[in-house]
Structure 1
Amino acid sequence: MQADSASYIVDVPLPLALDFQQLKAEAIAQLQQQAGQAWTNFNDSDPGITILEQLCYALTELGYCAQMPIQDVLTGADGSIRYAGQFFAPQDILTTAPVTTDDYRKLIHDRVAQVRAVYLQPQTWALNDKPAQRVGNGRYAVYVAFRRDDETQETIGDLLNTIDFLLHQQRNLGEFFYFPVVLTEQPIRLKGKVYLNADAQWALVVQKLTEVLREYAAPTPLRSGFGQLQTAGLSSDAIMNGPRMENGWISAPGALPEKRNQVSCAQIASLLTQLDGVTAVESLSFAGSSSGNAIDIADDALAAFEFLDGLQFIQNKQVLSPAAGKLNALSSRSVGVITQLQVAHAAAGIEAKVDVYPPLPQGRYRDIESYISIQSTFPEMYGIGPNSLESDAPDYRVASARQLKAYLLVYDQLLANEFSQLAHLGDLFSFAAPRTRLTRPVLEGALPEGSFSTTYFCQNLYDVPDVKPLLRGNQSFHYQFDHRLPPEQVAALAWQRYQQFPFNEYMHGLRECMEQPGTANVRRDQFLTHLMARHGEDAQAYDAMMSAFQSYGSPLETRIIVKSIWMQNIQLLSYHRMKACNWRSPTQWLQPGDARLTPEQNWWPMPPVPPQAPSAAYPWWQGDAYPAQDGELDQERLFEATALARDAQRDDFQDVASFECKLAMLLGLPSYFLQLAGKLSGLLATPAFLDWLGAGAVDSLFYSPELDVSVGRVSAQEDRLFDGLVTLQALQEGATDVMQIICNVEAIDMPSRRHVYEAHAAQLLWLVRQRPGGLLLEHQLLFVGASPQQIAPELPAALRRCAHWPAVLMAASLLLPGYVSIVAGQELNNYLDSLRDLHWPCHLDLQVKKPAFALLTDLITHYVDWHNAAPGEEREQQAQQLLHLLDLPSDAGGAV
């Protein structure tokens, strides 16, 4: 008789956490070891063993919850997992912005449905002293073919503009795309004989032949669904390697073929013989061609086969004519359109659009934090369960029960906290703002319980039977205003208020026992470091720089905030790892000092926070440096304000490079520059300072207690800004300043000096409100010429004077205000070197320049004019001015 596997259960030992007997045995062994000869009666009737058994039962419940599926542990009361702030979807974190030419092709095929084929050809220039040796110049020619041959010129122009904008929107540092060019048709006439089966339909064969030849000339990319590719053996990272796709993944081997650059008779004959209805092909050749059995196709062309006049279709020993097959010019064109639709449909199955992304895991809510006291399961004779004592029980009996309850309450609190810790597992490994922890619904106006960081969680024991007398401060609310209330109602209301107040003595003491703020911050920092490591980031490489120039409290608290901001943006930062700005963006930049530059336009960080009821003339620099609530940092609002976005409503990467975003987050230079601009603006609004500005002598000082800033005049042309109160002796001895302000020799009167201060403040504000703290200039963009749409096959004249032009072209300049002391210091240089090694593309050079105020003013002015100008002579003139100011080769001369 064959054994039925479903008729018995295999006795598998329980895990230790679920095995009551083993837990009890190990506990008794520990007791024996601790007690020695003092106590040897471990029988089940002993009250101590009864307590031990109850604790072991509670531990099995905790063990059961700990072994629940992780998706159940993370599922909230609403039945969903809070993915935001904890996890990224695979299609968001495994994909990257285009890097290779194939990546760009995939993106265009996915976003522009009318594209039949698109190809990118890297461009090269000859080295100056080696004309025969050509190297890449970071530029790409773009060739496109559309599905429908009857597209109007206006429609084609719109599609080309869409592709051009898409490419520059996703452009990487050091890259440049010439305007897309429509592939021309290179006519190829076929001649020969095609033999058909007796029952073959000539029109159908012609349709299939048209389809095969179009695919042979420019194969259509093959889209697949995620499940299809996974079933075929591809891993998730292999499927999603490249840009995020919305209409199916082009990831299967051979799914994105190249353009046919040579056609041969042998290959075409092989394809024809595989068609249904075709029995043989004879004497196939290219009509009017002297190149033999193969023809090369130009880079900017597609093979366009003509065969109706050259191929003879033979069926039943009779030569078929177009009239016999009812094919004319119009019907032939219709066959072509139908063929294109069929090819597009075959290349993108239903699964490609329906099964694009894998489903997110879902769990079942288990209410893990709910805790039932072990006192509720004791035998009634112990008198500690609900309603276990009579109302007339003697005092000594009540006292004995309370003594036992107090003893057990310690175990209850430990167990309840463990369940709470498990329930908050998602919060421990979250990089979002800490969720406010409410012990009970709070009274109106009461403050919720919360802290900067929480890594040990706890919960109250208000549901333990008759627990009120055992909790500290339980009489705090035992008062009444209405003397007509009976004592029982007064006691009930007092107990209710006690539970609703989150800072009662019991809860406050419990939180103090759990962890101190310093310990919590250290542990929180370690959790965030672990999360960064799981995403491929070494937090130790950033620790020092995170708190060097920005502050959200102590250095440790600053690191916690910056790491949290970094983690919440890491999906976009990693996706756009090498992304550059979209230099063809329609955004019009403003010049420094423009009145339209308002605090709401701060690129980074969020604008200063005004008081609750600001007046119309409220000065922006008096706002809080960061959002606060009741004097504490409001992390939720801060994280909301610093979250990058790239969608239809907002694109934070349109005008800046990803590298600039990283500098802003990790170094906090925009925050520092904003503070300096605020101090300058505050000084200029102080009448006493204006008096000193015009009358102050050399080696004189001005101190503003409201701004806690000092200004010292070290020479007739130079003032220096200091943090805090500085003595005259310290000024003369060269105290460390935060900023230098240089005035022209003529600018020695108060109005002139005031204008210089205003210009410095305006420039710093521009670096915050129009840029993320600095100005990144790609040299590549300054050499595109007056006609950037035309492909430049040869080296521009200005670069021919360079000893090695790739070192000039494949580079960028990062401009920072050299008059700010931290910018001129070595510490910033070290941090920039580290970030260059970690986040800057290795094939490009990054030149950090720290120009003085006047030079930086000229650079900013010309760069804004260059950005706002349309492609043409005006933009080229501004580019030449920038090259000259950067001491780079230009038409007017320059470095070689």
Structure 2
Amino acid sequence: MIDQLTIPKQIDTSLGPEYNTLRTEGMQHIRDLASAIWSDYNVHDPGITTLEMLCYALTDLNYRITLPVENILAVDHDNTTSMHEQFLSAIKILPTYPVTPDDYRQLFVRIDGVRNAWIKKSPHSIIANYKQPDGKPLLRYAKPGENALTGKEVKFDLKGINDILIDFEDFPELGGDAAKIKAKQDDIIKQIKSVYHYFRELCEDLDQVKAVENQEIVICAEIELQPQADPEMIWAQIMFNIEQYLTPDIKFYLLKELLDKGMQTDEIFEGPVLDFENLQGIDAKFAKQGFIIPAELAASQLRTEVRLSDLYRIIMEIDGVRLVKRISFGFCGCTAPQSEVADKIYKSNEWLLCVQEGHKSVLCETNSSFTFYKDVVPIELKQSEAQADLNQLRKDWQDNVEAKKIVDLPVPEGDYRDIGHYETLQNQFPENYGISPLGLPDTATTEQRSLALQLKGYLLFYDQVLANYFAQLSNARILLTADDSIRKTYFSNTVNGIRDAEKLLDGYAQWEKTVDDVIKETGQDNYPERKNKFLDHLLARFAEQFNEYVFLMYRIYGEDYQRNIIRHKVKFLKDYDQMSICRGSGMDLYNTKTPDQQLVNVSGMEKRISMLLGFSNYKMQQLSVEDYLLFKADALHYNWTISQLGVVKFKGNANFLKEIDAYEDLGLVSVLACDRENYRLSPGATAGKYVYNIANSAGTLLTHNDMEFSAAAIETEIAFIIKFMQNDFKMEGMYVIENILLRPPFDYTGDDSTHHQFMPVCLDPNGVYCEPLDPYSFRVCVILPGYSVRLRNTAFRTYAERLIRTETPAHILPRICFIGHDQMVGFEAVYKDWLAAKHIAISTDTPIDPVLNSKFIDVIEKLYTVYQQGQLSDCNDDTQETNPIILNKTSLGTLQGGTNNNS
């Protein structure tokens, strides 16, 4: 049976033996090795003393290793900031953008003025008439209740379109002013739209936001009270509790309250984002900021039925109620006098009322009647006091809601213990050894001083090994962090406190650097390999891995890509909270963005896939305007340049017979140029000036550059280039277009909608169609530059396509196009105009220009994948072709030995 490798939940923290155990084992080793020449192991023997000193040092090391992790990772200054850089707090990593309807509701109900909200599917369908003279199906929106004509039409429902129903608060502060209430509600609707579109899920969209309609219910009851009961308070409590039953208010909690309930951290922070203070580019006021229990939110759905037995139970549970003599209910007509309504309700004998779909059940206070008795004596309510008690109950509830605030679960900070500090064990020896800080007396002979130095030199070996162990432990924080600024994984330390250390070591002041150099020269610290392993460990904690990507990059670029893989992993980990929280979201087309915000206003799918593919960024930028150029150096050869802001920074140092080889050389330089260690400086033609170039791991220069800089200016220039290459170099990217956003405006008349272009459907004149017929619902078009350096490579393109299909949400069907440069130019020109028009249309609730929308649909539908050109060899040619024809992977090139027949 194969053992499964798992991480145990309970870990034994006793990582090493204690002093007594170490001493006992050490003594046994001495007996095994030296018993023939040494049989008397006295405590005062120098060998035993040395053993005891080493055992003590190891015990100290073991103690520091077993300190709480937060103490090991603590720093001596600004520890709080350091811990938050090291670890993602609960509020940043556990919540996500909304996924379920209740996730959206959690956000909506926090808006000031919203008592409750519900998100429902918007019922829209499209009918396709396939019996057309030209054979092309004619599409239109179906009217409510309209069905397709058999043998002539087919009908499909649009999915992903939502309506939002809002239960507004009463706004007593507005004094019943209808105009002010309307303005307040309009402002809330704008905030609801802002929140929805900010967090909008991919391939979903919003149709209507409207106030929920009420369905009033009359309740009539005769209730007997306890002798000491307060009738006014009982009435207020009955009214309040029935309100909460018919349409429950959302209850908010403090973090401590939920922890006291026994809820786990992941349960508490489950659901939509809670870090409202850091949301940028959203126009909403989240006034209610407590935690919400998902089960309670789910229980506050629009009620579909009201049961008389529930009302009976609610009243009987109130303190002071002795008996419900009679109770009945019905729907409110609100036209007859209260006494007549009560008689009618009592006679109806209803036990169950079904609430109309999409309506909120509310208590009709005008016609509802509650008669109270104490024994057989009717009690006359003091209505003003009763109403005041009810208002106070409502106010207490609201005050309780406003008092609840969201706080993050604190990150354990630990205590800084300076665990890397090490003092030589020589100072622990008895003074008569002459190696302590006191040294030897002035009367000591030269021989005695030499022997003391000899012992010091012998012990220094142990000192240095132990000092390095302590240094390694103190730098665990650096090893286990997403940071590549420190280019080593083995750490050393200077042995402190040695008297006459300068007599033992040449250059003692630079000894730590000397040890680092030795480690580097011996090749023990294989930084790229070891750092990648540490980063893989951190990635595994999020169930992420780059294995296939790494293998593919090694295959294409070899060892030279190692450091760039480290950079990709570090960038992925640093952006992981933002990337994972919105992985299923779409682009925000409603809220106005600053230029910087608009640059990263892309779908969560684009962010994640871009990082997994090692793109330099996921910014929204023109991919048809490249920062590189591949050109014909002469009739037979290709070369390339890389530019920054129109200025050439690198030029290929070799000419290539094959275009693909030139592209791969360009790609390698774009990778190496991200790391300062790959730059080589050499004297320029002018005295005191220098030029820079890029070299691979073998030391071969890959670029040729004539620009000269002074010694100081060239470092500034290189730093500027590295920042550009790492973050802004335009070589790769992607677009994700959601088909649902291309639909024409909804129009139930069947007239105007025909002037808008629908996306084509695969439907023949006989009514036979391809699945899925619906071209809008949960469909995306993923567009990538097939002409870019790496996406020209067949293996990388195959990997990219597989990754896109894997990372696309399971319910969404992607169409993937690796398009050519000319296609990209045409697409981006129309896409830019369409984005601007769509933003205006959504934010102002007006239709988009049908001509522009139709033009964009035409562009999308005409996109096609371009392939690397393959070659068919002559039948008599036995040479192995490096770029053979592969079905669906290459296009036809030149037939060798024949005429030029490209197709």
Question: Fold match, TM over 0.5?
Answer: yes
Query: Structure 2: how far apart are the matches of 1:287 and 1:20?
Result: 83
Aligned runs of 1:8-19 on 2, under 5 Å?
17=16, 19=18
User: Shift of the alpha carbon at 1:97?
Assistant: 1.8
The SS at the match of 1:250 is coil
Match 1:139 to one of 144, 155, 161: 161
Deviations 1:778-837 (A, max 9, x none): 11111162789x9x999x993695543345431111122233354344223322234225
1:877 aligned onto 2:851: yes
The SS at the match of 1:460 is coil
1:170 aligned onto 2:199: yes
User: Shift of the alpha carbon at 1:340?
Assistant: 3.5
Aligned runs of 1:550-589 on 2, under 5 Å?
554-587=560-593
1:773 aligned onto 2:733: yes
Aligned runs of 1:230-249 on 2, under 5 Å?
230-245=259-274, 247-249=289-291
Distance 1:358 1:588, change over 3 A: closer
Q: Does the CA contact (< 8 Å) of 2:97 and 2:199 recur in 1?
A: yes
1:274 aligned onto 2:292: no
Q: Does the CA contact (< 8 Å) of 1:137 and 1:806 recur in 2?
A: no
User: Shift of the alpha carbon at 1:240?
Assistant: 1.8
Match 1:263 to one of 293, 306, 312: 306
Distance 1:702 1:572, change over 3 A: closer
Q: Specify the alignment match of 2:293 in structure 1.
A: 251
Distance 1:237 1:707, change over 3 A: closer
Q: Specify the alignment match of 2:494 in structure 1.
A: 460
Q: Does the CA contact (< 8 Å) of 1:739 and 1:819 recur in 2?
A: no
Deviations 1:36-76 (A, max 9, x none): 63444433333222211211111111122122222222222
1:657 aligned onto 2:635: no
Aligned residues: 708
Aligned runs of 1:781-860 on 2, under 5 Å?
781-783=741-743, 785=745, 798=758, 801-802=761-762, 803=769, 804-806=772-774, 808-820=776-788, 822-860=790-828
Q: Specify the alignment match of 2:108 in structure 1.
A: 108
Query: Structure 1: how far apart are the matches of 2:104 and 2:87?
Result: 27
User: Shift of the alpha carbon at 1:583?
Assistant: 1.8
The SS at the match of 1:119 is strand
Query: Structure 2: how far apart are the matches of 1:33 and 1:463?
Result: 34
Q: Specify the alignment match of 2:98 in structure 1.
A: 98
Q: Specify the alignment match of 1:158 in structure 2.
A: 187
Greater alpha carbon shift after TM alignment, 172-181 vs 304-313:
304-313
1:864 aligned onto 2:827: no
Q: Specify the alignment match of 2:24 in structure 1.
A: 25
Q: Specify the alignment match of 1:612 in structure 2.
A: none
Unaligned runs of 5+ in 1: 1-13, 435-450, 475-497, 590-600, 602-649, 684-688, 709-720, 741-763, 890-896
User: Shift of the alpha carbon at 1:359?
Assistant: 2.8
Query: Structure 1: how far apart are the matches of 2:19 and 2:332?
Result: 92
Aligned amino acid, residue 557 of structure 1:
R
The SS at the match of 1:512 is helix
Unaligned runs of 5+ in 2: 1-12, 129-146, 149-153, 175-180, 276-288, 334-347, 645-649, 667-723, 763-768, 864-903
User: Shift of the alpha carbon at 1:662?
Assistant: 2.3
Amino-acid identity (%): 22
Aligned amino acid, residue 512 of structure 1:
K
User: Shift of the alpha carbon at 1:308?
Assistant: 4.2
Q: Does the CA contact (< 8 Å) of 1:187 and 1:306 recur in 2?
A: yes
Q: Specify the alignment match of 2:364 in structure 1.
A: 306
Q: Does the CA contact (< 8 Å) of 1:428 and 1:527 recur in 2?
A: yes
Aligned runs of 1:532-551 on 2, under 5 Å?
532-544=539-551
Q: Specify the alignment match of 2:673 in structure 1.
A: none
Q: Does the CA contact (< 8 Å) of 1:533 and 1:539 recur in 2?
A: no
1:887 aligned onto 2:873: no
Q: Specify the alignment match of 2:669 in structure 1.
A: none
Distance 1:303 1:19, change over 3 A: closer
Q: Specify the alignment match of 1:640 in structure 2.
A: none
Two-structure CA RMSD over aligned residues (Å):
4.3
Deviations 1:280-320 (A, max 9, x none): 15141215678954333334432232144341524355666
Aligned amino acid, residue 302 of structure 2:
K
Q: Specify the alignment match of 2:405 in structure 1.
A: 353
Q: Does the CA contact (< 8 Å) of 1:273 and 1:281 recur in 2?
A: no
User: Shift of the alpha carbon at 1:171?
Assistant: 1.4
Query: Structure 2: how far apart are the matches of 1:465 and 1:430?
Result: 37
User: Shift of the alpha carbon at 1:376?
Assistant: 0.5
Q: Specify the alignment match of 1:469 in structure 2.
A: 503
Q: Specify the alignment match of 1:666 in structure 2.
A: 612
The SS at the match of 1:842 is coil
Q: Specify the alignment match of 1:717 in structure 2.
A: none
- TM-score normalised per structure 2: 0.70
Distance 1:578 1:29, change over 3 A: same
1:512 aligned onto 2:520: yes
Aligned amino acid, residue 661 of structure 1:
K
Query: Structure 2: how far apart are the matches of 1:734 and 1:467?
Result: 60
Q: Specify the alignment match of 1:494 in structure 2.
A: none
The SS at the match of 1:577 is coil
Q: Does the CA contact (< 8 Å) of 1:462 and 1:468 recur in 2?
A: no
Query: Structure 1: how far apart are the matches of 2:472 and 2:14?
Result: 21
Distance 1:797 1:817, change over 3 A: closer
User: Shift of the alpha carbon at 1:124?
Assistant: 5.0
Deviations 1:122-153 (A, max 9, x none): 34556869979976701221111122245621
Aligned runs of 1:465-504 on 2, under 5 Å?
465-473=499-507, 498=509, 503=513
Q: Specify the alignment match of 1:226 in structure 2.
A: 255
Q: Does the CA contact (< 8 Å) of 2:429 and 2:435 recur in 1?
A: yes
- TM-score normalised per structure 1: 0.70
Q: Specify the alignment match of 1:743 in structure 2.
A: none
Aligned amino acid, residue 384 of structure 1:
I
Q: Specify the alignment match of 1:531 in structure 2.
A: 538
Q: Does the CA contact (< 8 Å) of 2:423 and 2:495 recur in 1?
A: no
Distance 1:286 1:799, change over 3 A: farther
1:180 aligned onto 2:209: yes
Query: Structure 1: how far apart are the matches of 2:732 and 2:627?
Result: 19
Aligned amino acid, residue 104 of structure 2:
Y
Aligned amino acid, residue 99 of structure 1:
V
Query: Structure 1: how far apart are the matches of 2:862 and 2:232?
Result: 64
Aligned runs of 1:670-681 on 2, under 5 Å?
670=616, 680=628
The SS at the match of 1:63 is helix
Distance 1:65 1:581, change over 3 A: same
Distance 1:266 1:535, change over 3 A: same
Query: Structure 1: how far apart are the matches of 2:623 and 2:828?
Result: 21
The SS at the match of 2:296 is coil
Query: Structure 2: how far apart are the matches of 1:360 and 1:138?
Result: 39
Distance 1:701 1:545, change over 3 A: closer
Q: Does the CA contact (< 8 Å) of 2:75 and 2:416 recur in 1?
A: yes
Aligned amino acid, residue 311 of structure 1:
S
Distance 1:888 1:274, change over 3 A: farther
Distance 1:829 1:433, change over 3 A: closer
1:385 aligned onto 2:436: yes
Distance 1:771 1:155, change over 3 A: farther
Query: Structure 2: how far apart are the matches of 1:828 and 1:340?
Result: 62
Q: Does the CA contact (< 8 Å) of 1:722 and 1:736 recur in 2?
A: no
The SS at the match of 1:867 is helix
The SS at the match of 1:249 is coil
Query: Structure 2: how far apart are the matches of 1:171 and 1:298?
Result: 29
Q: Does the CA contact (< 8 Å) of 2:19 and 2:55 recur in 1?
A: yes
Distance 1:310 1:16, change over 3 A: closer
